[in-house]
Amino acid sequence: MRERKIENILLIILLILGIPVFLAVAIYVSAFQISSFQLDLTILGEQEVTVEYGDHYADAGAEAYFSGTYLLKNGKEVSVNTLSNVDESKPGTYHIRYDASFLIWSACGERIVHIVDTQKPEITLRSDPDQITLPGEPYAEEGFTARDNFDGDITDRVIRTQVGSVVIYWVSDSSGNTAEVTREIIYHDPLPPELVLLGESSVTITEGDAYQDPGVVATDNCDGDISGRVVVTGTVDTNAAGTYTIQYYVEDSYGNCASAVRTVTVNAKPQASVGSSVQQTVVPDGKVIYLTFDDGPGPYTDQLLDVLAQYDVKATFFVVDSGYSDAMQRIVREGHSIGIHSTTHEYKSIYSSEDAFFEDLEQMQSIIQNTTGVTTYLMRFPGGSSNTVSSFNPGVMTRLTAEVEARGYRYFDWNVSSGDAGETTSTDRVFENVVNGVGKRNVSIVLQHDIKSYSVAAVEKIIQWGLDNGYSFLPLDMTSPTAHHGVNN
Ligand SMILES: [Zn+2]
C-alpha cells in the first residue's frame, strides 16, 4: 500500500513537472512538425530583365506569405521591402532586392535589371541643291549631323572618309552601336566648251579662188583642248557664187555643247555679161585724198614708192604694159591698188571698136594678173571717160562706159588734175595745182603720171601738206568714189 502511495506521489510530481514540457513539446510538434510554419517570398515576373534605354521600367515587385502545414494553411500576406538602384537614365546593370520578415522568419530575393542601349545613332546628310562639283575638283562637304538616342549630338565623333566618288560617314555611340551612311558625289559640269573661230567669222572670196578653212579652237573647263572633237559641217563650192555656212559643233564629256558658224561668201567673178551690178559707192569719212598715177610703171616709180612707203601712204596705179614688172610687183606687195589703164594706150586702136577696146583691156588685166597675181577690175579710160579723142568713133565712150560697168569693171576719172600731162613741167606748179584742187573738196581723186620725174618729185610735199591739213590718203577700191566726168562722146 505504502509503495502505491509513493508511486502516486511520483506520478503527481511527474504530472506537475510534465505539463509545461508537454505543452512545450506539443507546441514544438504543432509548429515545426505537425504544422511546420514558413515565410515564402516570390519575385513576380522574370528574375533577370533587359530594358531598352528610353523605355520605362515598371517593376513587377514581389510577394511574401507566412504559412503553415495545418495552421495558416492559406497563408498570411507579409509586406515586402524593396531596395532598388535602377536608374533608367543610364544604361547599366542594376539589382532590386526584396526582403520580408515575420517574427523569427525572414526571406529575401533579388532581381537583376539590365538597362541597355541597342539603338544605333542616326547620321543625316545635308545636300545643297546649288552645289556643283566639277569633275576632277575636290568635293566640298555639304554637311551632316549625327544624333544618338542616349548621347545626343555626336556630329563631332563622325569619321569621314572618301573612297573614289563615295564619301563614307561612320559613327559609334558610347554603347558601341555604330551607324554608317554613304554619299555618292555627283560630278557635274554645267559649263559648255568654248569655241573660238580662227580667222574671220565672215569671209568673202571670189569665185574660183581656193578656200582653206582656218578652223576653230575648242577648249573645255574639264576636258581641256577638245579641238579634235569638233564636228565641221557645210562646204564651200568655190566655183559657185553664193553664201555658204560652215558649222562647227563640239560637245564635252558631260554633254555640254557649243557651236559656231562661219559665213563664206563666194562672190561671182565679174562676168562679161550685160546686167552685172555695179558696186555701191561708199563715201569715206573725213577729208580724203586718193593719189592716182597713170601710164606707169616707169623709171621713177621706185622713187615714188619709196616716198609713199616713208609716209605709209597708199596710192593707186593705173598701169600700162611698160615692162617694169618689178615695180608692178612692188606696187601690189606694198599695199597699193593697181588698176588697168591700157596695154597700148593707142587711142586710134583702142577706141576703134568695143571689141578692140576690150581686147586691149583684158590683155592688160592678164598682164597684171600674171605679174602680180591680182585680178583687178579697177580701171581708167585712156584720156578719161570724158575724152573727145575718140570722136572719130561717134558714141563709143557712151557704149564703153556702160559696157565696162556691165562687165563688172569700175572706172575712175579724177577731180583734181596736177597739170603734169602738158600744162606744166614744174614740180612747184604740180604741187600748187594739186593743193588748190584738193582744198576745194572733201574727197579728191588726184591725177598724176609716175612717168614724169617732175610730177613724182612733187609727191612728198603733197603728202606733207595733206597730212598737215588733216587729210588721209587712201587707195581706190571697188566701192570708192569714181569722180566720173561725164561722157562727151
Ligand atoms: Zn594715160
Neighbouring-strand partners of residue 473: 289
Longest alpha-carbon distance in the chain: 218
Is 273 contained in some domain? no
C-alpha 463 – ligand 1 centre gap (Å): 23
Question: Do 210 and 165 have their domain in common?
Answer: no
Question: Do 249 and 364 have their domain in common?
Answer: no
List all residues 6 or more positions away from 107 whose beta carbon is below 8 Å from its beta carbon. Answer: 39, 40, 41, 64, 99, 100, 101
C-alpha 270 – ligand 1 centre gap (Å): 24
Question: Do 176 and 92 have their domain in common?
Answer: no
C-alpha 435 – ligand 1 centre gap (Å): 21
> Pick from 346, 343, 347, 405: which is nearest to 378 by CA?
405
C-alpha 381 – ligand 1 centre gap (Å): 8
242 phi, psi to nearest 5 deg: 160, 180
Is 439 contained in some domain? yes
Is 333 contained in some domain? yes
What is the distance between the alpha carbons of residues 391 and 409, in angstroms, rounded to a whole number?
23
Question: Do 307 and 363 have their domain in common?
Answer: yes
What's the grid cell of residue 189?
A: 559640269
Is 276 contained in some domain? no
Average pLDDT, the chain: 91
C-alpha 356 – ligand 1 centre gap (Å): 17
Q: Cβ(307)–Cβ(466) under 8 Å?
A: no
* Number of domains within the chain: 5
C-alpha 295 – ligand 1 centre gap (Å): 5
C-alpha 236 – ligand 1 centre gap (Å): 41
Question: Do 233 and 101 have their domain in common?
Answer: no
Span 194-223, pLDDT tens digits: 999 998 898 888 888 888 899 999 999 888
pLDDT band of residue 91 (cuts 50, 70, 90) is: very high
Question: Do 412 and 469 have their domain in common?
Answer: yes
C-alpha 340 – ligand 1 centre gap (Å): 10
Domain boundary among 184, 204, 224: 184
Is 98 contained in some domain? yes
Is 274 contained in some domain? no
341: part of which helix (H) or strand (E)? strand 337-342
pLDDT at position 190 is 85
C-alpha 390 – ligand 1 centre gap (Å): 14
pLDDT at position 254 is 87
Question: Do 293 and 333 have their domain in common?
Answer: yes
Span 354-367, pLDDT tens digits: 999 999 999 999 99
C-alpha 466 – ligand 1 centre gap (Å): 25
C-alpha 345 – ligand 1 centre gap (Å): 7
C-alpha 321 – ligand 1 centre gap (Å): 12
Question: Do 149 and 202 have their domain in common?
Answer: no
pLDDT band of residue 13 (cuts 50, 70, 90) is: confident
Question: Do 44 and 149 have their domain in common?
Answer: no
Domain of residue 44 covers: 38-116
What is the distance between the alpha carbons of residues 397 and 488, in angstroms, rounded to a whole number?
8
C-alpha 411 – ligand 1 centre gap (Å): 13
Q: Cβ(380)–Cβ(292) under 8 Å?
A: yes
Question: Do 143 and 55 have their domain in common?
Answer: no
Span 315-340, pLDDT tens digits: 999 999 999 999 999 999 999 999 99
C-alpha 465 – ligand 1 centre gap (Å): 26
pLDDT band of residue 305 (cuts 50, 70, 90) is: very high
Q: What is the CATH number of the domain that holds 302?
A: 3.20.20.370
C-alpha 377 – ligand 1 centre gap (Å): 17
What's the grid cell of residue 413?
A: 576719172
Is 81 contained in some domain? yes
Residue 241 has pLDDT above 90, yes or no: no
Residue 273 has pLDDT above 60, yes or no: no
Domain boundary among 184, 210, 225: 184
Residue scoring higher pLDDT (20 or 473): 473
Question: Do 340 and 430 have their domain in common?
Answer: yes
Question: Do 324 and 436 have their domain in common?
Answer: yes
C-alpha 277 – ligand 1 centre gap (Å): 26
C-alpha 171 – ligand 1 centre gap (Å): 99
pLDDT at position 30 is 64
Is 281 contained in some domain? no
C-alpha 412 – ligand 1 centre gap (Å): 12
Domain boundary among 87, 116, 145: 116
C-alpha 383 – ligand 1 centre gap (Å): 6
Q: What is the CATH number of the domain that holds 250?
A: 2.60.40.10
